[in-house]
Amino acid sequence: MIRYKELFLGPKCDNKCLFCYYRLGNYEQPDFNTINNLLGQTEHDSVVLYGGEPTLRNDLFEIINIVKKNGFRRIKLVSNGRSFSNNQFLLQLIKEGCLLFEIKLWGSNPDIHDYITQTPNSFLQTINGLENLQRLSCDKFICLRILLCRQNFTDIVNMIITGINLGVNRIVLSLEDHNVPLQDLLPYIRIALNISILNRVWILTEGFPFCVMQGLEHHIGEIYHGYGSKIYPRTYKYHKNCQHCIYKGICHGVYTEYLNKFGHAEFQPIKFNRYFKEIKALFG
Ligand code: SF4
């Protein structure tokens, strides 16, 4: 798995998502010089630009130029996808060498998506952006990040089908809300994973411990990219049963807020797992 330098371009966004880390936090918009300095300090050869909404910056193309001058080979944009409904803008990005995209989706229809983004028309623009991406003939890579919360988890299958129909290369199911009991959510996750696998679209999860993903553990995203990303900051903690689990050390436990709310009784330690050695090797 490619390790990216994560570069925050500021909290400014045209959506107001209910579960956004950056909307409610105290984050400043870094200026161009700050970004330029940060790009000089790295051991990575790939960079991911995120916000907020990075495409809203007036100096985005200058930043991309500096990224290239600093020798980064891959540039990924994490975006709500709305700006890509402007095809000219998208073509300019491609021309500048940005070919990797991660687009965030909260629902398979405007009622759910726009309710969570608190922004009318955001769904239609995001879908238009994905359609424009799909039509590009160049060698791009599109990841669809489906963000899960109490308002949308029953819509997972429709969102997966939307992504598959739009030709995405990978889907990530990312848990953003600590108020959904996992026993309610997991049946939907299993169906979603199976639909994606059957359609040969690689699918990963984020935020689910190994003990609730038995049989599907190869789809736990943290195996491949670790737990340290700043893009979706999360805190995990071990519970009483973790001390008896062979995955302790690879798994970082359960979301702190979830454990505080629901307790640990549903998380049973794993004593044996036939994929353990393989997963340990992948985790590194
Ligand atoms: S018991 Fe603890 S360490 Fe083991 S998989 Fe579950 S949360 Fe992770």
Residue at 268 is within a domain: no
Count of domains for the chain: 1
Q: Which atom of ligand 1 is nearest to the CA of 252?
A: 8
**27 has pLDDT over 80:** yes
93-143 pLDDT per residue, tens = 999 999 999 999 999 999 999 999 999 999 999 999 999 999 999 999 999
Task: Output the six-digit token pair for 26.
Answer: 């105290």
CATH number at residue 30: 3.20.20.70
- The confidence score (pLDDT) of residue 138 equals 93
Residue at 217 is within a domain: no
Residue at 249 is within a domain: no
189: nearest Cα among 160, 164, 211: 160
Q: Which residue has the higher pLDDT, 74 or 3?
A: 74
Plot region of 163 (φ>0 → left; ψ -120 to 50 → alpha; else → beta) = alpha
Task: Output the six-digit token pair for 181.
Answer: 């009991």
3-state secondary structure 170-184: EEEEEECCCCCCHHH
215-266 pLDDT per residue, tens = 999 999 999 988 888 998 889 999 999 999 999 999 999 999 999 999 999 9
182-207 pLDDT per residue, tens = 999 999 999 999 999 999 999 999 99
- The confidence score (pLDDT) of residue 85 equals 98
Rounded CA separation 31/203 (Å): 35
Q: Which atom of ligand 1 is nearest to the CA of 268?
A: 1
Residue at 262 is within a domain: no
Residue at 224 is within a domain: no
For the entire predicted model, the pTM comes to 0.95
Residue 252 CB neighbours (<10 A): 19
8 A C-beta contact, residue 272 and residue 246: yes
3-state secondary structure of 77: strand
- The confidence score (pLDDT) of residue 1 equals 67
**42 has pLDDT over 90:** no
Q: Is the CB of 253 under 6 A from ligand 1?
A: yes
Residue at 9 is within a domain: yes
Q: Is the CB of 255 under 6 A from ligand 1?
A: no
Rounded CA separation 188/156 (Å): 7
* Structural domain harbouring 51: 5-206
Residue at 37 is within a domain: yes
Cβ-based neighbours of 122, under 8 Å, separated by 6 or more: 14, 15, 80, 82, 113, 114
Q: Is the CB of 72 under 6 A from ligand 1?
A: no
